Amino acid sequence: MPVFYGTEVASRLMLGTAQYPSPAVLADAFRRSGAGIATVSVRRESGGERAGGDFRALVQELGVRVLPNTAGCHSVREAVTTAQMARELFGTDWIKLEVIGHADTLQPDPFGLLEAAHILTSEGFRVFPYTTEDVVLADRLLDAGCEVLMPWGAPIGTGLGLTNLYGLRTLRAQFPGVPMVVDAGLGLPSQAAQALEMGYDAVLLNTAVARAGDPAAMAEGFARAVEAGRLAFEADPMEPRDMAAPSTPVIGTAFLS
């Protein structure tokens, strides 16, 4: 199982908690997924509203580790303040750090992300940075004190899957000992399996489950996919090749003239 900041997590599947049709559906999806971590947007769930308190209680009842995030933050100041609020609300120094730089693609702002990561790690936060697959940025985030990287598969909510396989493979190969989670853009269990087959430690998704016709069934599908993908990675799969090779040997077989 993956280990983040010295803590072993029970599953390689991490789920978001937004957009579900009802609290009951959310709870059922988590139950069938076996997810070990639930991400929660602090900006969506205001601590001063009754609904926010009810939601926090629901998340606590799921019995999983909570990873608050700074979703919706477009500046360093917003992200840092939101992280500080999250620590008070949820009693954890874990934070998924998002600093959005582009309104249409929701691509991270690399400069703001790095600055916020420096500030938060200096304050004792365990930062999970939502980043691109950029190797240079990843190296700077590690230097800033991040011990986990969360590169996107595709823009948030698109369901496009792994749109830059070369970049993701390069990032994984460049930092083989760093825990990495493919975060955002996954739409199908097969895409999650592909990420695990490449050696990623876990995947994080929300929309693909929450907006499915049957969220609980889709959650279970993703759970099985990450298990299959990890087994394939650990089995040391064959390398692809251009030429065909017979699976049945022909040496010693009879040929009729």
Rounded to an integer, what distance in angstroms lies between the CA atom of residue 223 and that of residue 215?
Answer: 12
207 is in an annotated binding site: yes
252 is known as an active-site residue: no
Yes or no: say if 26 and 54 are a contact pair by the CB < 8 Å rule. Answer: no
157 is in an annotated binding site: yes
Rounded to an integer, what distance in angstroms lies between the CA atom of residue 47 and that of residue 26?
Answer: 20
Q: What Å distances lie between residue 21 and 25, 223, 248, CA to CA?
A: 6, 20, 52
Other C-beta atoms within 10 Å of 244: how many? 6
185 is in an annotated binding site: yes
State the DSSP code for 38.
E
Catalytic, out of 12, 87, 96, 172? 96
Q: Which helix (H) or strand (E) holds 68?
A: strand 65-69
Q: What angle do CA 11, 12, 14 make, to 5 degrees?
A: 90
229 is in an annotated binding site: no
What six digits make up the tokens of 9?
């997590």
Residues 6+ positions from 78 with CB-CB distance below 8 Å: 70, 99
216 is in an annotated binding site: no
Rounded to an integer, what distance in angstroms lies between the CA atom of residue 225 and that of residue 242?
Answer: 27
Give the residue numbers of the binding site for 1-deoxy-D-xylulose 5-phosphate: 157, 184-185, 206-207
| Residues identified as active-site | 96
Give the residue numbers of the binding site: 157, 184-185, 206-207
